[in-house]
Chain A
Amino acid sequence: MSKLSKAQVIHVSQLAKLSLKESEIEKFRSQLTRIFEYVDSIAKMKTQGVPETNQVTGITNRFRSDVVNRTTMLSQKEALGNAKKTYKGYFLIKSIFGK
């Protein structure tokens, strides 16, 4: 059984930087519980000694020369073009450590 607790939902939302309203916590708790009850069926697969597949291309490493590609380079103005708050050519963010 994969019944999720309220505390687990809050924990997961905090890990994912999502702030949930009180009413959302219960809604997602019951929905996630139902989904994980279904997903739990994967435990029945006999996977001992089976390697994991992260991707299907078979490509392992891909190297390129360490040179600047000017065709994909953004100017400072372009890079900042979508930011809500900038300051002297920088992205402006909220302070992390408080005052």
Chain B
Amino acid sequence: MEISSLTLRQIIKLLEKGEISSYELCQFYLTRIKKFDKNIRSFITVREDVLKEAKIADSERKKGTKKPLLGIPFGIKDNFLTKGTKTTSASNVLSDYIPQYDSTVVARLKHAGALIIGKTNLDAWGHGSSGEHTDYGVTNNPYAKGYVTGGSSSGSSAAVASHFCSAATGSDTGGSNRQPASYCNIVGLKPSYGRVSRYGVIAMASSTDCMGLLTRNVWDSAYILSVIAGYDPLDSTSKDVPVPDYAKEMSKPFKARIGVPKEFFDGIDSQVSEKVQTALTILKNKGHKLIPVSIPYVKYAYPIYAVVQTSEVSANLARFDGIRYGNGREIFGDEAKRRIMIGTHSLSSGYADKYYKQALKGRTLLIADFERVFNSVDLIAGPVYPFRPFKHGEREADPLKMYLSDVLTVPANLTGHPGISVPIEFVNGFPTGFQLIAPHFSESRMFKVGLDIEQELQMFKVKPKLW
């Protein structure tokens, strides 16, 4: 039995039946990490201690303990605090930071029996769409050496795609889970804002940060979301909305009215567009209704996001002073400095009305635009990235060109709607994704429709040839 061909659902079943052990599972992943991760660079910290914890999980299981993720090894994006395990956010500013507490997501995963196999690489502080802005070595796309993974959850995506762990966490501020999922042929989830606690995750832009998942299958994403979602008194923006059993809800029949915004196809690569159209046709053939819609304010989404996000970044990164933890501000990389300065300028006296306040008003109009469309459709669908994976260094020289990678993912962050990226057919050998956006707290709809694409295309069966 080849572990890498098993889905999480199958792994859980085999663990329950005693046909594999958590120890074997962890050993399998650690061996692969040792063999391949020097080239992929998906992990910043690998925890060999996971083997001891796996043994404990195995003996707990023998005693009859039942937990939803007992003995399942996770990759944790290195901006999620992990008690006693170094958390760098991929910046040398935090090169020696050992958190004194767990983020709520990590605490909930542990409570459900999950294990941490390591901390994954990212664009430092979550700033990036390529995985290149890291102080810990640029992550390679497992499907294409020398090409970007997408970001900022670059390491989590590469690790899941490379079968270095069963699933991984990610934070999505402007597309950071959906984008690398799209480029790594996996499923990337950004839940509704307020669905999952942000407590203990190093804040980037507090009003758009959403904690989510990188998984190989839609079912995995739905199943794990039920574990990490829910109100947390430690995050005042988490919402007290009941958490459904998403994996169970997914199996209920659902024929959706899917809005396809013409603005999502403006200026995107024709081959990417073609593959997205193929996925739309699959959904149509499965009985979903496609409805052309227009969301005019989408064209302002990126500039609005640029102002809102960097303003919040400048405030959030102000706490890093090297006094209570970490190193001094002189160590910030160029990308952090750039964003701090864009934000500081947008908020500064004489410019706040022109930039920050105007962006907040524009955000209101964008939300209204989406709500209007959601009055007549159940979901919105489109591409994730406007183009296929690019080579390392190709966009780095021009920050604006890099930022424009985010145009199709930032709208859902500004509106707080949940979004998912589901793998579709490759473009010239490069993975690509299909994006679904749902009304607030309607994640189940995305899972159901995403599953229809997954069942038809079965892209999870296509594995990378690591080197």
Select from chain B the residue with minimum beta-carbon distance to A14.
Answer: B344
Residue of chain B at shortest CB distance from A56? B416
Given A12-B344, A35-B342, A59-B237, A42:B329 Cβ within 8 A: no
Decide: A45 and B300 in contact? CB cutoff 8 A.
yes
Once the chains are docked, how many angstroms separate the CA of A91 from the CA of B299? 48
Q: How long is the Cα–Cα vector from A59 to B452 in the complex, in angstroms? A: 35
Q: Is the interface of B mostly helix, strand, loop or mixed?
A: helix
Contact B100 A81 (CB under 8 A): yes
Within 8 A of B (CB), among A19-78: 19-20, 24, 28, 31-32, 34-36, 38-45, 47, 50-57, 59, 62, 64, 72, 74, 78
The answer on a CB contact under 8 Å between B355 and A39 is: yes
- How far apart are the CA atoms of A45 and B366 in the complex, in Å? 10
> Is A82 positioned at the interface, with any CB of B under 8 Å from its CB?
yes
Given known contacts A35-B403, A39-B307, A91-B323, A56 and B358 CB-to-CB distance under 8 angstroms: no
B361 & A52 in contact (Cβ 8 Å cutoff): yes
Which residues of the other chain, B, contact A99 by a CB distance below 8 angstroms?
none
> Given the complex of chains A and B, what is the CA–CA distance between A10 and B290 in angstroms?
52
Chain B hits for A8, CB < 8 A: 345
Contact partners of B363 in chain A: CB under 8 A:
52-53
Interface residues on A, range: 35 or more
B residues 60-117 in Cβ contact with A at 8 Å: 96-98, 100-101
Contacting pair B342 A32 (CB below 8 A): yes
Residues of A contacting B293 in the complex (Cβ-Cβ under 8 angstroms): none
* A residues in contact with B96, CB < 8 Å: 82
Q: How far in angstroms is the closest Cβ of chain B from A50?
A: 4
Q: Does A7 contact B (CB under 8 A)?
A: no
Q: Does B289 contact A (CB under 8 A)?
A: no
Given the complex of chains A and B, what is the CA–CA distance between A23 and B106 in angstroms? 42
In whole Å, how far is A33's beta carbon from the nearest beta carbon of chain B?
Answer: 10
Q: Is A18 an interface residue (CB 8 A)?
A: yes
Interchain CB contact under 8 A, B399 and A78: no
Q: How far is B405's CA from A96's CA once the two chains are assembled, in angstroms?
A: 43
Q: How far is the CA of A78 from the CA of B303 in the complex (A)?
A: 42
Tell yes or no: B236 within 8 A of A by CB.
yes
- A-B residue pair count with CB separations less than 8 angstroms: 142
Q: How many angstroms between the C-alpha atoms of A72 and B314 in the bound complex?
A: 27
Closest to A45 in B: B362
> Counting CB contacts under 8 A, is A88 at the interface?
no
Chain B residues with Cβ below 8 Å from A53 are 360-361, 363-364, 367
Q: Are B100 and A78 in contact (CB under 8 A)?
A: yes
* B207 within 8 Å of A (CB atoms): yes
Residues from chain B with a CB closer than 8 A to the CB of A4 are 345
B341 at the interface (CB under 8 A from A): yes
Verify A82–B306 contact, CB threshold 8 A: no
Residue of B nearest to A61 (CB): B236
Known: A51-B361, A57-B194. A83 touches B237 (CB 8 A): no
Residues from chain B with a CB closer than 8 A to the CB of A79 are 100, 324
**Shortest Cβ distance from A11 into chain B, in angstroms?**
8
B338 touches A15 (CB 8 A): no
A59 and B361 CA atoms in complex are apart in Å by: 18
A8 to B341: give the CA distance in the assembly, Å: 10
CA distance A53 to B360 in the complex (A): 5
Cβ B364 vs Cβ A32 within 8 A? no
Are A82 and B345 in contact (CB-based, < 8 A)?
A: no
B424 smallest CB distance to A (angstroms): 29
B347-371 interface mask toward A, CB cutoff 8 Å, 1 = contact, 0 = none? 0100000110111111111010000
A84 x B322 contact (CB < 8 A): yes
- The contact of A42 among B101, B303, B367, B414, by CB within 8 Å, is B303
Cβ contact within 8 Å between A57 and B304:
no
Least distance between B322 CB and chain A CB atoms (Å): 7
Give the chain B neighbours of A38 by CB distance below 8 A. 303, 306, 400
Interface residues of B in 293-312 (CB under 8 A from A): 297, 300, 303-304, 306-307
Question: B233 an interface residue at 8 Å Cβ cutoff?
Answer: yes
Pair B324/A91 contact, Cβ less than 8 Å: yes
Contacts of A72 in B (CB 8 A): 101, 234
CA distance A3 to B361 in the complex (A): 24
**Are A45 and B358 in contact, CB atoms less than 8 angstroms apart?**
yes
CA distance A57 to B362 in the complex (A): 17
With A16-B340, A38-B303, A82-B326 as known contacts, state yes or no: A56 contacts B364, CB within 8 Å: no
* B contact residues vs A (CB 8 Å cutoff): 96-98, 100-101, 193-194, 207, 233-234, 236-237, 239, 297, 300, 303-304, 306-307, 314, 318, 321-327, 329-330, 332, 337-338, 340-342, 344-345, 348, 354-355, 357-365, 367, 399-400, 403, 414-416
Would you give 16 A-B contacts (Cβ < 8 Å), ordered by A? A15-B348, A17-B329, A19-B330, A28-B341, A31-B338, A32-B345, A41-B303, A52-B357, A52-B361, A53-B364, A54-B360, A56-B367, A57-B193, A59-B194, A82-B98, A83-B324
